Structure 1
Amino acid sequence: MIFKGQFANVVEWEEFRDDMIFWKWTNKEIKKGSRLIIRPGQDAIFLYNGKIEGIFKDEGDYDIESEIIPFLSTLKGFKFGFNTGIRAEVLFVNTKEFTVKWGTKNAINIPTPHLPGGLPVRANGTFNFKVDDYIALIDKIAGVRDFYLVEDVKLRITSILDQLLMKWISMEGKDIFNLQANAYEIAKGIKEDLDMEVLNSGITITGFNIMSFNYPEEIQQMINKVASYNMVGDLGKYQQVSMTDGISSGKVKGGGTASDVAGMVMGMNVAKEMMKNVEKDKSDESNETKPNFCPNCGEKTGEGKFCSNCGQKLI
């Protein structure tokens, strides 16, 4: 009796996980009356003798004999009239785009003449990928594995990420003390290199982002000081601002009334020094030499600060 004692299968992704890229239904016979269930975000690939027979993308519940077999490449003439079912495999692929967080495990020492051992830098961000080539996926990965996880891709990416960060950070013109300003350009170059690295496995890198670069604490403090100097414009003024901040924040303090008086005196001294600087700036301005003739129109200058003929500022 045909199919005596055999029971129909439900071919479906039985252990679906968000972090699973594909899962293979295998080592089972597809028997008469079996059904295929495709859920949202899944594609089902029928394999026979290691070759793709058909790819089904629309979600639904299908009768394999009447709705699937007729569309398979070499099995479309197969009828469930044999004493055994079809010993085929079905590869379920997660079609979504995956987002993965990454971070450098160890600091990357970027060559710089300022530091003999290089500047240690850490970085973190995200990358995105998805499956885009089923033939390559089966040939390189699914042919020898029953499932594939996001963690597997992450390990492959992070194993070469340090080298790519080194490559793109070290490119000419990059300010290694302000890498965040070049984060987009660095990320774009890394994305292209990573895409080439995983291209032959059927996966494409759809995005790569650098959230931040991190320096050792002492280096970051130096960077902050340099930025403060540039912002204030003068070392003396920077020291005054630093002392004022220290007083207002309570970092410059002692105990009891004595500390209050000391803080007041210190604040008065700072104010006095700042006034001296203002007066010095005014004095320097007043000591500027006025030209005898207007540099704009050539008219002889008088007592005023502006040319009486054209209005050009003289000092």
Structure 2
Amino acid sequence: MGLFGFLKSQFIEVIEWTDSDMNTMVYRFPVQNNEIKMGAELTVRESQMAIFVNEGEIADVFGPGRHQLYTQNMPILTKLKSWKHGFNSPFKAEVYFVNTKQFINQKWGTSNPIMMRDPEFGIIRLRGYGIYSYRVSEPTVFLKELFGTNASYDTSNIEEQLKKMIVSGLTDLFAESKIAALDLAMHYDELSEKGKEKMQQRFSAFGFEMTSLYIENLSLPKEVEEAMDKRTSMGVIGDLGQYQQYQAAEALRDAARNESGGLAGAGAGLGAGAALGGVMANAFSGNQQQQANTPPPSISQTEKISCPHCQAPNTLGTKFCGDCGKSIQMKKVPCIGCQAELNEDAKFCGECGTKQDAEKTCAKCEKKNAPNAKFCGDCGENL
């Protein structure tokens, strides 16, 4: 290799980075002992940012696209190095590619249970886990605060820090929400959204933007869950007395199926039978006592009768209406046609259909008489 070829190999003409690792956040382009040729081609792909650093000081930042490196598009670096206009000599600078895509499916979870005060269960211990995603929104802030002078940087370098930040913020959020443990499941979406807003300020301090936060599960200790299951079972059982009777009947059936023989078996069977008999007696006596202590509903308290005059409801057995004061127990009169018993204000007979207020005309003297008259008032003729 001649001198010209050796010098040419020291000049970098193409600068680019192809991301081969999904979790790499920053990549430092290898320029050690080499110089960048003025007019070199810089390729920045989508979801990337290229940052030039001069002697530890951040200079120019390039977004996605293809760039020709000249003094015109590197104003900060030109000023830092005091280049003259139209400077064409090779130069030295560090080049960092920052990945600005979303880093998804990052997991968070409580390493220790969260102590909370629940309105129903008192003090409880709550555990939870979920996922979140974020991206680098301010590359220069990220380089200053976290990256330093490393050759590369990936999500594992910051994973524990972010996880602890999220758990700390969510612990405070859960306590402030004062949501009962049994109602937490219906508020996952609301708590996730509020948690994301709460974390945004903390993430921005590192140049990050939290794009999503999800709560997958919030669970109580095993002992509390067992107590909740028992309470649910009691609610399903309903009447405890009937449940005791059912258990006693099931126990008697199982005892009857016991085929163990011998005196020992007989003695055990007699003892079990006596014990079960006591259980049955207590179960049934308790049920009977409960029924005895419950007074039967009073007819006068449950049944109502309508007033025949104003139709107002009155308790059965009342003699006078509470609204109009008229007698509820109507006087009975015979039907003028079939002699069936009717209320005195009935207009038609329910048996024969005869109109009850029709006047009777005497066949002998043609005198008008009352509907229930049996003899004519003038001539005495039988009506």
The TM tier, using the shorter chain, reads: 0.5 to 0.7
Return the index of the structure with the highest Cα Rg: 2
Equivalence map 1:111-130=2 (5 Å)? 111=117, 118-130=123-135
The answer to whether structure 1 residue 175 and structure 2 residue 177 are counterparts is no
- After superposition, what is the alpha-carbon deviation per residue over 1:12-59, rounded to whole angstroms, capped at 9, x for unaligned? 22663111122222553223574433344323233334223132213x
- Unaligned residue ranges in structure 2 (runs of 5+): 79-83, 260-275, 318-383
Partner of 2:266: none
What is the CA–CA distance in structure 1 between the aligned matches of 2:203 and 2:115, rounded to whole Å?
A: 26
Does the aligned pair in 2 maintain the 1:41–1:95 contact within 8 Å?
Answer: yes
Partner of 2:16: 12
Distance 1:240 1:92, change over 3 A: farther
- After superposition, what is the alpha-carbon deviation per residue over 1:267-298, rounded to whole angstroms, capped at 9, x for unaligned? xxx9xx9xx99xx99xx797365537869984
Task: State the AA in 1 paired with 2:301.
Answer: P
Q: CA deviation at 1:123?
A: 0.6
Does the aligned pair in 2 maintain the 1:101–1:126 contact within 8 Å?
Answer: yes
Q: Which has the higher contact order (CA 8 A, sep 6+)?
A: 1
Distance 1:55 1:38, change over 3 A: closer
The answer to whether structure 1 residue 87 and structure 2 residue 79 are counterparts is no
- After superposition, what is the alpha-carbon deviation per residue over 1:89-136, rounded to whole angstroms, capped at 9, x for unaligned? 2221222211212221222232458888x4222111011111111232
- After superposition, what is the alpha-carbon deviation per residue over 1:56-93, rounded to whole angstroms, capped at 9, x for unaligned? 213xxx4644xx654222357765743xx221222212
Q: CA deviation at 1:230?
A: 4.0
Q: What do you get for the CA RMSD once the two structures are aligned?
A: 4.4
What is the CA–CA distance in structure 2 between the aligned matches of 1:285 and 1:69, rounded to whole Å?
A: 102
The answer to whether structure 1 residue 98 and structure 2 residue 97 are counterparts is no
Q: What SS class does the counterpart of residue 291 from structure 1 fall into? A: helix
What is the CA–CA distance in structure 2 between the aligned matches of 1:162 and 1:238, rounded to whole Å?
A: 45
TM-score (norm 2): 0.57
Distance 1:293 1:299, change over 3 A: farther
Does the aligned pair in 2 maintain the 1:22–1:94 contact within 8 Å?
Answer: yes
Moved more, 2-11 or 285-294: 285-294
Distance 1:113 1:175, change over 3 A: closer
Does the aligned pair in 2 maintain the 1:45–1:52 contact within 8 Å?
Answer: yes
Q: What SS class does the counterpart of residue 8 from structure 2 fall into? A: coil
Does the aligned pair in 1 maintain the 2:49–2:63 contact within 8 Å?
Answer: yes
Does the aligned pair in 1 maintain the 2:109–2:167 contact within 8 Å?
Answer: no
Equivalence map 1:16-95=2 (5 Å)? 16-25=20-29, 27-28=31-32, 29-31=35-37, 34-49=40-55, 50-58=57-65, 62=66, 64-65=68-69, 70-75=72-77, 81-82=88-89, 85-95=90-100
Q: CA deviation at 1:157?
A: 1.8
What is the CA–CA distance in structure 1 between the aligned matches of 2:297 and 2:154, rounded to whole Å?
A: 75
Equivalence map 1:1-315=2 (5 Å)? 5-7=7-9, 8-9=11-12, 10-13=14-17, 16-25=20-29, 27-28=31-32, 29-31=35-37, 34-49=40-55, 50-58=57-65, 62=66, 64-65=68-69, 70-75=72-77, 81-82=88-89, 85-99=90-104, 100-111=106-117, 118-171=123-176, 173-230=178-235, 233-235=238-240, 258=258, 287=297, 290-291=300-301, 298-302=312-316
Task: State the AA in 1 paired with 2:313.
Answer: E
- After superposition, what is the alpha-carbon deviation per residue over 1:154-184, rounded to whole angstroms, capped at 9, x for unaligned? 2112223343333122225311344323333
Does the aligned pair in 2 maintain the 1:46–1:90 contact within 8 Å?
Answer: yes
What is the CA–CA distance in structure 2 between the aligned matches of 1:189 and 1:169, rounded to whole Å?
A: 10
Distance 1:154 1:254, change over 3 A: farther
Distance 1:106 1:285, change over 3 A: same
What is the CA–CA distance in structure 2 between the aligned matches of 1:37 and 1:290, rounded to whole Å?
A: 96
What is the CA–CA distance in structure 2 between the aligned matches of 1:15 and 1:240, rounded to whole Å?
A: 72
Q: What SS class does the counterpart of residue 74 from structure 1 fall into? A: helix
Distance 1:232 1:80, change over 3 A: farther
Task: State the AA in 2 paired with 1:226.
Answer: R
What is the CA–CA distance in structure 1 between the aligned matches of 2:245 and 2:127, rounded to whole Å?
A: 34
Q: What SS class does the counterpart of residue 172 from structure 2 fall into? A: helix
How many aligned residue pairs are there?
A: 273
What is the CA–CA distance in structure 2 between the aligned matches of 1:295 and 1:171, rounded to whole Å?
A: 58
Q: What SS class does the counterpart of residue 45 from structure 1 fall into? A: strand
What is the CA–CA distance in structure 2 between the aligned matches of 1:126 and 1:138, rounded to whole Å?
A: 25
Q: CA deviation at 1:231?
A: 5.1
What is the CA–CA distance in structure 2 between the aligned matches of 1:111 and 1:172, rounded to whole Å?
A: 11
